[in-house]
Amino acid sequence: MRYRREVSFAIALAALALSGCQSAGAHRAAVQDDSTDRLTVGTVQRQIQIGMSGAQVAQVLGSPNIVSSDEERREVWVYDKIATDRAYSASSGGVQALVLGFGGAAAGGIGGGVGASAGASSTSQRTLTVVIKFDHERKVRDFAYHTSRF
């Protein structure tokens, strides 16, 4: 009976020690947030169409960073987005234990501890440049985009 109790206690201690530990991959997954609404190539490809008005483009993409005109004085809108993603996650866990054993006339104890830590950091940059050219009636006549990630 006492042996079962000691084994159960040892298993519980081991489970507690391991529950605080995460791998670096798990930390990286925990710190990356792709849920926010972002200007993406997919948005441009799916929603921008030749013939759209400037108001429709602004509704989809927001305000442009640069508004200029070409040699025929037609408007050109440029969206230039740069993002830097930095994330860091760390954890540490451990168990300090003192196991006391009692038997007959002798009493003794064993002390020990287990500790571990893990962490991950991530830095990346993304760029997206979208150029939208309008005709004299202020309708989209052409658009292009370029994206990079490093």
pLDDT digits (tens, 9 = 90+) for 24-63: 666 566 656 554 457 889 999 999 999 999 999 999 999 9
Q: Three-class SS of residue 49? A: coil
Q: Distance between CA atoms of 130 and 104, rounded to whole angstroms? A: 82
Hey, which bits of the chain come out as E strands?
Answer: 66-69, 75-103, 106-134, 140-149
pLDDT score, position 35: 46
Give the whole-angstrom CA distance, residue 88 versus residue 19. Answer: 20
- The pLDDT, as a whole number, for residue 87 is 83
| Predicted TM-score of the model (pTM) | 0.55
Q: What is the chain's alpha carbon radius of gyration, rounded to the nearest angstrom?
A: 30
Tell me the β-bridge partners of 19: none
Q: What angle do CA 120, 117, 30 make, to 5 degrees?
A: 40
